[in-house]
Structure 1
Amino acid sequence: MGDDGDDATTRPDEYEHHPQSGIIYIVSNIPGPGSQPDDFEMQFSVGCDCDQECKNNHCSCIRGTPNYVDARLSTENSNSIIECNFNCTCHRNCGNRLVQYGPVDSLVVKNAINSAVGLGLFTMKRIKRNQFICEYAGEVIGIDEAQRRLEANKINGSMNYVLVVSEYVGDKKITTCLDPAKFGSIGRYANHSCQPNAALVPVRVDITIPKLCLFALRDIEPEEEITFNYAGDTSVHNLSETPCLCGNSSCLGYLPHSTV
């Protein structure tokens, strides 16, 4: 993955939460209240028929433009990202298989740069621009349940982990609501920043539910905290009443409001 031994490399997800946290570690999304169980069973793709390595021009998964170049997110692709899966005839080391092989091996959880935030996600090795970091996995919940949890977190003054991610495929809007508060992966510790070094990207492998994956927006150096913008790459029109503590000069003052 990297060009030298100091760069983070991917590995099977062997991270875990502190045993006293009460959080159950999961390596991929699980169905929660309001989700559609069929979405976790329905195959998203019949698979490509490529021989060994997928070629851009005829692969049904890549669809003309590569998703990844040298194991990093392609800047040329404007389509939704679909990885090759168990239905595909290409080799397991095909370049269109990346996030399914797990997060980088350099992540640690410790006190965030701003102690008022609590815990944060850090890397102990250099992560290169456009490199896959980890998945933000949790309970996939329905829109009504997401709204209920958002309101409950606000009333109780609890930390809110619910993410509402909207994708547009043509004129169709696809909304995924995810909550890693009680069931989550290592990605749940990544904090918000108005000037982040990572971005959340939906990636589909074998089912219709996307994996919400963190990719580096720039080179991230050892000991640096990994952050992303909770509002995604869209303009922020709605701000919550929760103060933002990212400390950047471009800080909007308040966290983005998750709309459902």
Structure 2
Amino acid sequence: MAELSGGSEAVPVALWPPGEAPPAFQYSPDSVAGADGEIDPTEVTFPGCACRSRSCAAPECPCPCRGHSSSGAGLGLAEQQEQPFSSPVFECNSLCCCGEGCQNRLVQRGLQLRLQVFRSPRKGWGVRALEPIPRGGFVCEYAGEVLGFAEARRRIQAQSPQEPNYIIAVREHLFDGRVMETFVDPTRIGNVGRFLNHSCEPNLVMVPVRVDSMVPKLALFAATDISAGEELSFDYSGRFHNGPGASREHKALEEENSLRKPCYCGSQKCASFLPWDTSLFSTPASSP
């Protein structure tokens, strides 16, 4: 069976059907600095812990004390997403004294599950699990070029309506009113996460997880028990579920806008159109 990652992942990424492949891109298991050079996700700015235990945990370890530990937190991540605010998730980093076996190193280990990128009749390419995934389990990162707002907006405005849009905007609302923005574009450089389709009733939830710096890894966890052969999806809008009220409220606007792309998730709560970020389509003069 064909393999997509070129051996760069710990677990091969299968490709189906034989003889077909998605358009060429550079595979990278981790996010990289974008062409604008504004943000470097590999920069180390967090201090390391002095723990020499194999199982770093709060309150002894300062890393999870910054928020939550990624280890053992998967089962609670979906519930956190339903709250107005949730504590950030931190892992031990490259300056920590604990070893690679530390339980607070999960997302940074990368892909550990057997996944398959497959050709979908209506949605282009998608991703499905080749093994059962328990609720709360880490699945993969959504990796790509980490961009500043200006470059993300420039790229998305340069796209034609027929081109697929891979750019994701993640906004974290802090208690003091500030908003932290992360823009990741896996169009040219990315990993298996770039093939995940949207669903209005997804089986994955995205959680920003920080390791070496404030630039987060966009980690995807199983929001429910997932069976082998099941397609994997997450909500592009950032909500855990797209409520039917929200879809009705914006339906007229969506139908009037030619840039909207139809949603083919097939769920009972389908909003009919894929979510989009209006701020990336605004002009510099009209943006806040």
Larger-gyration structure (1/2): 2
SS at match of 1:226: strand
Flag the 1:19–1:224 CA change in 2: closer, same or farther, 3 A. Answer: closer
The one-letter code sitting in structure 2 at the alignment partner of 1:246 is C
Aligned mates of 1:87, 1:74 — CA distance in 2: 27
- 2:268 is the alignment partner of 1:245: no
When residues 80 and 119 of structure 1 are mapped into structure 2, their CA distance, relative to the original with a 3 A threshold, is same
1:167 aligns with 2:168: no
Residue 43 of structure 1: how far off its partner (Å): 1.9
Q: Which residue number in structure 1 is paired with residue 95 of structure 2?
A: 87
Residue in structure 2 matched with residue 258 of structure 1 by the alignment: 277
Read off the aligned partner of 1:180 and give its amino acid letter.
P
| Correspondence for 2:107 among 99, 121, 133 | 99
The share of aligned pairs that are identical, in percent, is 36
2:38 aligns to what? 36
Equivalent position SS for 2:274: strand
Give the partner amino acid of 2:166: Y
- For the structure 1 residues 247 and 231, does the alpha-carbon distance in structure 2 shift closer, same or farther, using more than 3 Å as the test? same
1:67-216 paired onto structure 2 within 5 Å: 67-70=69-72, 72-75=74-77, 78-112=86-120, 115-153=121-159, 155-171=160-176, 172-216=178-222
The 1:140/1:198 distance shift into structure 2, 3 A limit, reads same
Look up the SS of the partner of 1:244 in the other structure. Answer: coil
State how far apart, in whole Å, the 1-side matches of 2:181 and 2:30 are.
Answer: 18
What's the offset of the Cα at 1:68? 3.8
Q: Secondary structure at the match of 1:256?
A: coil
The AA in structure 2 aligned to 1:184 is: G
Normalising to structure 2: TM-score of the pair?
0.77
Query: 1:11-48 deviations in whole A, cap 9, x for unaligned?
Result: 726548887732110111111133424x4454231011
Q: Residues 70 and 209 of structure 2 are in contact (CA less than 8 Å); yes or no, is this contact kept in structure 1?
A: no
Which amino acid in the other structure matches residue 38 of structure 2? Q
- 1:213-224 maps to which residues of 2 (within 5 A)? 213-224=219-230
Is 1:46 aligned to residue 47 of structure 2?
yes
Pick which of 208-217 and 192-201 moved more: 208-217
Return the match for 1:26 from 11, 25, 28.
28
Query: CA distance change for structure 1 residues 111 and 45 in 2, over 3 Å: closer, same or farther?
Result: same
Query: Retained in 2: the 8 A contact 1:57–1:64?
Result: no
SS in 1 for 2:239: coil
The alpha-carbon distance between structure 1 residues 151 and 64, as it changes in their structure 2 partners (threshold 3 A), is: closer
1:27-77, CA deviations, whole angstroms, 9 ceiling, x for partnerless residues? 11111133424x445423101122312131132111176524547454487
Give, as a single letter, the amino acid of the residue that structure 2 aligns with 1:197: N
Counterpart contact for 1:164–1:259, Cα < 8 Å: no
Distance 1:14 1:47, change over 3 A: farther
Structure 2 residues without counterparts, runs of 5 or longer: 1-8, 81-85, 280-288
Which structure has greater helix proportion? 2
Residue identity opposite 2:45 in structure 1: F
Q: Which runs of 5+ in 1 are unaligned?
A: 1-10
Contact 1:58 1:64 (8 Å CA) reproduced: no
Q: How far, CA to CA, are the matches of 2:151 and 2:67 in structure 1?
A: 37
Bigger shift: 217-226 or 92-101? Answer: 92-101
Could you tell which deviates more after superposition, 78-87 or 68-77?
68-77
TM-score normalized by the length of structure 1? 0.84
Query: Please, which moves more after superposition, 230-239 or 204-213?
Result: 230-239
Residue equivalent to 2:58: 56
After the TM superposition, which segments of 4 or more aligned residues of structure 1 sit over 3 Å from their partners?
Answer: 13-20, 39-42, 68-78, 234-240
Size of the aligned set, in residue pairs, is 246
